Amino acid sequence: MIDVSLKFLIDELNGYLQRRLDSSFGQAALGALVDDKGTWTISEDSLRMCLFQIEEERITRAPVPQQTLVDGRHVTLRPPLTINLVVLIAARFSQYHEGLRMLALVLTHFQAHSLFTPATHPGLPAGVDRLSVELVNYGPEQANQMWACLGARHLPSVVYRVRMLILQDSEPDQVAMPVTHISTRTGPR
């Protein structure tokens, strides 16, 4: 679910960039910024989206398992896990001003398209009810820590929180036959 959701967002961004730039720019990509040695994996003159962090959305956390009837059996499933994704979009351009222009287009795109639903975007992956994209404001210290965690030098970038992916294991926690008859005992014991 994480992979297809981020692929959907990068495809939407690429469609927007293609319309705005008349194909003079290649494509933004999804992937790591650096390898395990700290060497750039993002090529020059490109944009890259990478997953920085996964957060649990605790406000919508269901405290009890879900119970349903499937094929005449009572099925108990663990409560779904609702998560947010923190993604970083970085620009690595030989001409600094070009990187800033590309980031401005990224900001413009997600400002204009901050909510994705099946009604507005039929290409939304199956099982994803909605994706909400919001700008995250990191201060200098937080940005420094983020880039240190990534093992890279700072690039012009923007951070977004992608709200709410719902993950749930389809394997039941418990399966039982439903109660179909209740007998009551009358009279003395």
Sequence spans of domains, the chain: 2-59+87-169
Question: With bands split at pLDDT 50, 70 and 90, how would you rate the model's confidence at 126?
Answer: confident
Residues 92 and 103: their CA atoms lie apart, in Å, by 10
Question: With bands split at pLDDT 50, 70 and 90, how would you rate the model's confidence at 164?
Answer: confident
Strand partners, 174: 76
Residues 58 and 128: their CA atoms lie apart, in Å, by 19
Q: What is the Cβ-side half-sphere exposure of residue 164, based on CA atoms within 13 angstroms?
A: 12
Average per-residue pLDDT in the chain?
Answer: 85
Per-residue pLDDT of 78-124, as tens digits, reads 777 888 999 999 999 999 999 999 999 999 999 999 999 999 999 99
Per-residue pLDDT of 2-54, as tens digits, reads 999 999 999 999 999 999 987 667 789 999 999 988 889 999 999 999 999 99
Q: What is the Cβ-side half-sphere exposure of residue 183, based on CA atoms within 13 angstroms?
A: 1
